Structure 1
Amino acid sequence: MLSDGSAGAGPCRIFLAGDSVVVHREQSKAPMTGWGQVLHFFFGPEVEIVNCARAGASARTFSERGRLEWILNNIRPGDYLLTSFGINDAKPEEWLRTEAYGDFTRHLRKFVDGARERNAHPVLISPHERDTYDVHGNLPRSIPEYAMAMRDLSVETSVPYLNLYDQSLVWWEELGPENVRPFFLHLGPGEHPNYPDGFDDPGHLVPAGAIACARYIAYSLVAQNVVPAHWVINLDRPEFPPEWVVWLDDESHRALTEARTAGVG
């Protein structure tokens, strides 16, 4: 699967299809951060990250509303399509939900087959687990069946699978309830101007958590020989300057969200 990026002009592109834990966030949501927002920290100039993730999307809605079609209309031979869904697929709303071993894998096949038909490289990535420790200090599993379904589909289709779900379980359990909190959006009153009354969100990351996930993804892409090792940088860098994490202004975020769709649905 290794590509030297020479199939088209310019750098090789890594397209990201996913939901709110992947998306490049807007300023009004800071410090909420998607791992796709910081993935470029770990790639050199040979690679361009094209983050097409959409907050609130499931594998179903991303496909049905023309976002996958936009990617497939723009992807080139030798590019990559990294796909990560499951969180919203597990929600009860009928228009959003998919069953793990039903519509979920059926929709994911569209990402895999669409990339391959265009001589691009599909990769499947399971989502991370939420910060959902209970009062007894136990970490319940919220979407294990979706991670398993994605893994099984990767075997069936011979597509690389990055198991961020199991890796996050290892991290969160090692860190424990208190030490995992700095990875997620937990703010007290007055701590951030975007959330003057405070905000507790156990599902969405802040820069520390997003960087940890992005680092794992970059590492895994090299470890599985999905991308050339010389493309990946900074894996051993312990910290990044805070100013490196950039949020889009809200208008640019809105325009970009509306632009990266084929207008279906």
Structure 2
Amino acid sequence: MTYAPGQQQGRRHRIFVAGGSNAVDRPYSFLPMAGWTQALPLFLTDAVEVVNCARARASSKSFRERGRLQWILDTMEPGDYLLFGFGQTDWKPDPGLHTEPFSTFLEHMAAYVHGARERQGHPVILLPYERRRIDAHGNVARFLGDYPLAARQLAEEEHVPVVDLYGQSLQWWEELGPEASKRVFTYLRPGEPLQRDVQDGDNVHLRAEGAIECARFIARSMLEQGVIPSHWGRDLDRRTFSYDEMGWLDEETFAHRTKSRVSMSPGS
């Protein structure tokens, strides 16, 4: 797929993001934990607005059934993008979250594709990164099972571009190994305080450093595939970023976004 023009003149291009806790914009109380979406603007020009609607503990099912997908669809305009990826929570046995990879998961994911296209938007499927589970020999466990495979199947059937962060993460974690991979996940370093909402030794959520590299890969993948135009990208080879650039939220803004980006209208 290549970039399709048609955005209204005079307004910023928008990329809506739907996903779970790995993509959430974090408040300061979660330092040094960060979602990859809050780092994505580092690699996009000011002509692009990233509208992060990801929510902690969201599956493809719960995000849709709780009105979060509908809010995005109600807000989208022709030419906007919907970048979405699930699977890291869909395996949970909770009936409000659980989906089966090649049945209910595909059904819910298809609703994101069709909903975006009905609004003349551009759906993009993200295969989420694998969690950090590495044995003594450096082998990374495929915890996400068939969810990435199912998402790729849907992408092929619906002709939707794919950002394969999953495959890239397997390569990264294996290259880094059991110890060095801790540097990109939420393992506290000497002198860092333990925040109320952060668990030290978290093998699921990223530090800012890891979030930045995931965001870099996502931006580069969309640019190289022609999903978004080349002039939207910036600083893809920049190696140093400060924590001040990461877009941490204050608690009030975080709470407001969590509560407000929900639609009570009939679901899509």
TM-score tier by shorter-chain length is over 0.9
What do residues 13-70 of structure 1 show as CA deviations (whole Å, max 9, x unaligned)?
Answer: 0000001101101222121100001100000122110001011100000000000000
- Residue 95 of structure 2 corresponds to 94
Aligned position for 1:206: 207
Cα distance between partner residues in 1 of 2:185 and 2:34: 9
- 1:142 and 2:143 aligned: yes
**Deviation by residue 1:136-193 (Cα, 9 ceiling, x = unmatched):** 5432110131000000100000000111101100011011111111100012686324
Residue 118 of structure 1, CA deviation = 0.5
Instruction: Give the match for residue 236 of structure 1.
Output: 237
- CA distance in 1 between partners of 2:23 and 2:191 (Å): 27
**Mapped partners of 1:53, 1:197: distance in 2:** 18
Residue 3 (structure 1) shift: 3.7
- With over 3 angstroms needed to count, the CA separation of the structure-2 counterparts of 1:218 and 1:5, relative to structure 1, is farther
Q: Which amino acid in structure 2 is aligned with residue 258 of structure 1? A: K
How far apart, CA to CA, are the structure 2 residues paired with 1:230 and 1:245?
22
The CA deviation at 1:242 is 2.4
Matched, 1:174 2:179: no
Residue 100 of structure 1 aligns to a residue whose secondary structure is coil
CA distance in 1, matches of 2:66, 2:9: 28
3-state SS of 2:23 partner: coil
RMSD of aligned alpha carbons: 1.9
Query: Contact (CA 8 Å) 1:147, 1:165: kept in 2 or not?
Result: yes
Q: Which amino acid aligns with 1:23?
A: V
Q: What whole-Å deviation, never above 9, does each CA across 1:54-90 have from its counterpart, x for those lacking one? A: 1110000000000000000000100100001100001
User: Does the 8 Å CA contact 1:5/1:79 hold for their aligned counterparts?
Assistant: no
Partner SS, residue 22 of structure 2: coil
% identical aligned pairs: 46
Q: Who is 2:71 aligned against? A: 70
CA gap of 1:71–1:193, structure 2 versus 1, over 3 A, is same
Give 1:197 shift: 9.7
Larger deviation, residues 138-147 vs 190-199: 190-199
**1:212-253: CA deviations, max 9, x gaps?**
100000000011110100101111111112211131112210
Partner residue in 1 for 2:80: 79
Identify the residue that residue 107 of structure 1 maps to in structure 2: 108
Alignment length (residue pairs): 265
Report the more deviating stretch, 36-45 or 7-16: 7-16
**Cα distance in structure 2, aligned partners of 1:160 and 1:228:** 14
Instruction: Go from structure 1 to structure 2 and tell me whether the alpha carbon gap of 1:128 and 1:198 turns closer, same or farther (over 3 Å shift).
Output: closer
Code of the residue aligned with 1:40 in structure 2: it is P
Contact 2:85–2:126 (8 Å) recurs in 1: yes
